[in-house]
Amino acid sequence: MALGVLFFPEQCLKSMHRSSKCSLCIDVCPTHAIDFKTTSPQLDSLKCMSCGACVALCPTDVFEAKNPSDEEMICFIEEKQRENTQEIVFTCERIQSKEPHFREIPCLARMDFSLLLSCFTNASVSVKLIHGKCEKCHGSSLEKVFEKSITDVKRMQPSAQIELSTLDAYVAKKDEIIEGITRDGYIRRRMLFSLFGKKPALKEAEILTVQHPIVFKDNLYKQHSFKKHDRLRHFIALMRAHVSSNSIIGVQPTIDPLLCKECSICTKVCPTGALGMNEEKEFGIDYTTHACIACHMCEDVCFAKAITFAPKTMDDMFKNEPVLLFEKEEINQNEEDRVVIFRT
């Protein structure tokens, strides 16, 4: 099952600012198909094994799955909910014996937090994730990805019925054959050809690089949204009735007033406009909680280390009005002791 990928390198945090420390896609990629040898990410289609883990983890939608797309996944989940299905089952492509009602995806690492959460807008449903032998897909790093998504769901809704399991009846055969060779041999062959710079004879995953208009630099103080975050906020809103308002659903920035140098660089690099200058204050920084995607860009660029992240609750997520995150304090000093602050 091939996974076509749309690739938007200019949306990468490292493309926006060289100080970004984000490396989620590189850390999770089991075949090292992603690198940052230039100022923007590069995706090697010969190494990509189409697991979709990068799609699930990237906060700024640099990677977008085509098969199945997010829309197809949501349609499948909503259809099951309309049918009052008590159990929604997802399986990875390594599972050979499948029931008609199972939804096959290339890898369970494709199931990001928002997709899993969408299953529980109906509180009575249960979700089962059945995976094959993850070590066959280059190690256990992928298994940790969907385990983290499960943990995030249960942290927000402890009563969520979600199970991760490996069932012998559905595990792929040890020597699964793909186009005439075993799967392990298939992957090794792709890796070998990539080392010698030649295209493999086997069909590679379709990766399409698409350029978006650069909105981050032209609209510094206007809000820009990302599909994954919008989807997460939508489904959290649907669940507000049966989820505690104190449930932890993420993190949000805080500014230490003793360390802040009032340079305002954090407001200039925020990709969603969640941080912005308060026009009514001599120097103040506003924070719009629902717009924050917790990309940590502000923390990465703050040379004074004044920004850290704290837990964000359900109530915080739905504060639509900006809150004053930082305000310059009046300093009463003698003329000779006055500190001159240079702002950018």
Residue-wise pLDDT for 218-239, tens only, equals: 444 456 789 999 999 998 888 8
Q: Rounded distance, CA 240 to CA 215, Å?
A: 32
Class of domain 232-330: alpha beta
Q: Indicate the domain borders of the chain.
A: 5-209, 232-330
Q: What integer pLDDT is reported at residue 72 of this predicted model?
A: 93
Burial 74-112 (b: 16+ CB within 10 A, else e): beebeebbeeeeeebbbbbbbbeeeeeeeeebbbbbbbb
Which one has a higher pLDDT value, 173 or 204?
204
Which one has a higher pLDDT value, 34 or 38?
34
Q: Any residues with CB less than 8 A from the CB of 280 and at least 6 apart, and which?
A: none
Q: What integer pLDDT is reported at residue 156 of this predicted model?
A: 83
CA distance readout (Å), 12 to 64, 293, 297, 308: 13, 13, 11, 21
**What band does 55 get if pLDDT is binned at 50, 70 and 90?**
very high
Q: Is the dihedral of CA 112, 115, 121, 125 positive or negative?
A: negative
Which one has a higher pLDDT value, 332 or 265?
265
Query: Measured in whole angstroms, how far is the alpha carbon of residue 209 from the centre of its chain?
Result: 19
Q: Rounded distance, CA 206 to CA 45, Å?
A: 7
Q: What integer pLDDT is reported at residue 244 of this predicted model?
A: 82
Residue 34 has pLDDT above 80, yes or no: yes
Best-predicted range by mean pLDDT among 126-140, 247-261, 328-342?
Answer: 247-261
